[in-house]
Amino acid sequence: MWRPSQLPELAGRLKSSGVSLDPARLTDLTSHPMNAVISLGGCTASFVSPDGLAITNHHCANGSIQFNSTADRNLLETGFTARSRSEELPAAPGTRISVTVAVTDVTGPVHRGLAAGLSGRQRYQAIEDRKKELIAACEEDPGHRCRVAAYHGGLEYELIKQLEIRDVRLVHAPAGAIGNYGGDIDNWMWPRHTGDYSFYRAYVGPDGKPADRDAANVPYRPRHHLKVSTRGLKEGDAVLVAGYPGSTSRHKTAAEAEDAFEWLYPTRTRVNRRTIELVARLTEGLPDAAIKYATVVSGLSNTLKNNEGMLAGYERSTLLRTKQELERGLRRWIEADPEHRGRHLPALDELGSLAARERRFRERTFFFGEVARRGALFSAARTLVRLAEERRSPDAAREPGYQDRDVGRIRDRLSRMERTFDAAVDRGLWRQAILDYAALPADQRVAAFDEWFGIKAEGGAPEGLDARLDGMYAATRLGAKEARLALMEATAESLAADQDPFIRLAVALLPADRALEEEQKEQDGRMEAARAGAMGALASYLLAQGRPLYPDANGTLRVTYGTVKGYRPRDGVSYLPFTGLTGLLQKETGKDPFNSPLALLEAVRAAGSSRFSDPALGTVPVNFLSDVDSTGGNSGSPTLDGRGELAGLLFDGNWESMTSSWEYQPDVKRAIHVDIRYVLWVMEHVHGAGELLRELGVESSSSSPSASSR
């Protein structure tokens, strides 16, 4: 996951792997192809036409498909194809397309003159203030969103400037039984047969600047877009993937890894499994509620399977041992040199004790976090109360997330809730989260919250919980979108007097929230220094051995390259790098999640002769494997061939490398891509999206049958 600026150093490696693109070109974010690679926040997409058409994964557009679905017109099931631009549907509120336009090193300005004797809290504030200044200055350019990203936990900082397009529309999504073929069973698995793609279009005001959704808006014309290649890849071909990987923990310590694998993942696995069952029970026989919680469930299922895979992988892996050995080596290297000792040892020791402190409160962090995550009304009330509270201060002094620049996002969130909230389900999920929380020891709980529900010092389910919840859900007005949005304008004083039970609870929690936050800032300020110090030591140690170091993923634009390649999941078994339509038919059971639309099955029978068939494979290729490095956030990333043309979309990792957020294992780490030839075949033969094919520059075929389903 190289920073684009690192690519020229890797020129030799890139060339020998078959990439003919000039690496220097990849460092220019305003030029082709990097300028076409865009972020959806949590997913990647890319422009593929001069009219702002963007391709990403089906699972990345899931929220928008769901947002436009009802029990009667379930686009998750049928898919959707706009026959004209006027038919394009609004993406889910909050959907944004971000184009990175500039990246500037701001390590100097962020760290300038930080005194050595600062407390954690002071250090945190100093850095926060500088970041806010940089962002504010950057965002004076209208239509742009900026952030200061930390690399190596704070060893370096970059100011990232992105054009932020906020009128995004859904253009085409395949049927769910194509876009999510294999569902949870096949998720993270090879062999795979998933058509995980969808299309958005970016719209801007008539002046070409980002604008709120409006009928007068026009398609955005990106400076560059990717060219779709129909040549096709084959085993051993070079591929290049550019995208926005979210977060990895490759450089975390052995102690942190141990805590994650021995506590966090097992706990989350247990809780998520139960939450999924609970949603199923609460939405049984209620198709509207089921649609509302479909995205939550698919997210939970995905995390669940990921964490199960991580735990299974951890059992087999030498991850912990490798980290421990690296740390022993690093310590020996430091201790061998008095100068290193003085400079690096304190940071390493501090990092260890800070991580130990985090472990001490891990139950509160996770289970009180669940209370917030599972209660949408509770969460909305806290946001509203906090927003009013922050507004007492001038904008620059407000907490990040509650500044004027954030108000639009808060509005989107409170508005989007409309489509993902059902009072009975919310009550059921929140109740379970409260019960879990109440079972914690007292030192892991929050007194003000306990007091509200009458949770006793010794913990356990409070008496009268159900009556209390019934009362709260009956009396609140936060279930109504209008009420939530109206409360965004309320003052702190009026909220303090508000009788809405959720608002009252949020107000009562405010001092505790603040206190916890202060604690966290002290911790974070110290952690920033310690982590940066430890990473600096590690970088020097590895440099001394001639080993390169790339920063952990942090949601910034990265480039990874590799080759199309299968792997050996276990003794006696080899996974081949391509799957095809013939194999899809072999999986077909007619039952979810292996229930292709009839139109697909009919089209497969004629597919032998399709222009998208691969001659070597003898059928239309569906998915392929490569050894590029990737993680969550890379979903939807364009997979470029050696010439920089679009050959597929990255959409998943593989089961055998679930621990890859902690280590890259070249023998089993693979990314799973949907072959662009399958995307084009589905568009042409199943969904009759000929107009879009033309927009992609793919000539329509005379042999193309007429569209039969949408």
Instruction: Out of 13, 112, 223, 316, name the contact with its own copies by CB under 8 A.
Output: 316
Minimum CB separation of residue 236 from its own copies in Å reads: 16
**What's the sign of the alpha-carbon dihedral 496, 502, 506, 509?**
positive
Q: Check residue 644 and report its DSSP letter.
A: S
Q: Which is nearer to its own copies, 171 or 584 (CB)?
A: 584
When asked if residue 318 is in the footprint of its own copies (CB under 8 A), the reply is no
Site string for its own copies, 327-356 (x = CB under 8 A): ------------------------------
Q: Which is nearer to its own copies, 343 or 587 (CB)?
A: 587
DSSP string, 651-687: EEE-GGGGGGGT---TTT--EEEEEHHHHHHIIIIIS
Q: Which is nearer to its own copies, 62 or 619 (CB)?
A: 619
Instruction: Out of 467, 573, 605, 609, name the contact with its own copies by CB under 8 A.
Output: 573
SS3 579: strand
Tokens for 450?
């306990």
144-203 binders of its own copies (CB under 8 A): 190-193
Which residues are the active-site residues? 59, 196, 635
- Structural element, H or E, at residue 240: strand 238-243
When asked if residue 574 is in the footprint of its own copies (CB under 8 A), the reply is yes
Tokens for 192?
């795979």
When asked if residue 499 is in the footprint of its own copies (CB under 8 A), the reply is no
Tokens for 492?
């702190």
Q: Which is nearer to its own copies, 92 or 233 (CB)?
A: 233
Q: Which residues contact 505 (CB under 8 A, 6 or more apart)?
A: 378, 381, 449, 452, 472
When asked if residue 125 is in the footprint of its own copies (CB under 8 A), the reply is no
Tokens 């690093």 found at:
330
Tokens 């930390």 found at:
150
Q: Which is nearer to its own copies, 151 or 578 (CB)?
A: 578
Yes or no: say if 411 and 426 are a contact pair by the CB < 8 Å rule.
Answer: no
List the beta bridge partners of residue 105.
Answer: 158
Site string for its own copies, 258-297 (x = CB under 8 A): ----------------------------------------
When asked if residue 255 is in the footprint of its own copies (CB under 8 A), the reply is no
Q: Which is nearer to its own copies, 608 or 697 (CB)?
A: 608
Instruction: Out of 102, 286, 539, 576, name the contact with its own copies by CB under 8 A.
Output: 576
When asked if residue 321 is in the footprint of its own copies (CB under 8 A), the reply is no
Q: Which is nearer to its own copies, 646 or 672 (CB)?
A: 672
Q: Which is nearer to its own copies, 192 or 521 (CB)?
A: 192
When asked if residue 583 is in the footprint of its own copies (CB under 8 A), the reply is yes
Instruction: Out of 580, 636, 642, 688, name the contact with its own copies by CB under 8 A.
Output: 580
- Structural element, H or E, at residue 292: helix 287-292
When asked if residue 609 is in the footprint of its own copies (CB under 8 A), the reply is no
When asked if residue 309 is in the footprint of its own copies (CB under 8 A), the reply is no
Minimum CB separation of residue 316 from its own copies in Å reads: 7
Amino acid at the residue 350: E
Instruction: Out of 578, 612, 662, 678, name the contact with its own copies by CB under 8 A.
Output: 578
Choose among 381, 371, 379: nearest CA to 465. Answer: 371
Per CB under 8 A, which region of 73-81, 224-232, 475-483, 570-578 contacts its own copies? Answer: 570-578
Assign residue 268 a region: left if phi > 0, alpha if psi is -120 to 50, beta otherwise? alpha
When asked if residue 233 is in the footprint of its own copies (CB under 8 A), the reply is no
Q: Count CB neighbours of 521 within 10 A.
A: 18
Minimum CB separation of residue 266 from its own copies in Å reads: 18
Tokens 């620059």 found at:
396
* # of chain residues touching its own copies (CB under 8 A): 22
Amino acid at the residue 645: E
When asked if residue 584 is in the footprint of its own copies (CB under 8 A), the reply is yes
Tokens 């922050």 found at:
390
Instruction: Out of 575, 594, 651, 655, name the contact with its own copies by CB under 8 A.
Output: 575
Tokens for 681?
């075949």
Let me know if 643 is exposed, middle or buried by CB neighbors in 10 A (0-12, 13-18, 19+): middle
Amino acid at the residue 115: A
Instruction: Out of 274, 341, 392, 570, name the contact with its own copies by CB under 8 A.
Output: 570
Q: Which residues contact 26 (CB under 8 A, 6 or more apart)?
A: 4, 7, 33, 34, 242, 559
Query: Which residues would be at the binding site for its own copies (CB under 8 A)?
Result: 190-193, 316, 568, 570-576, 578-580, 582-584, 586-587, 623
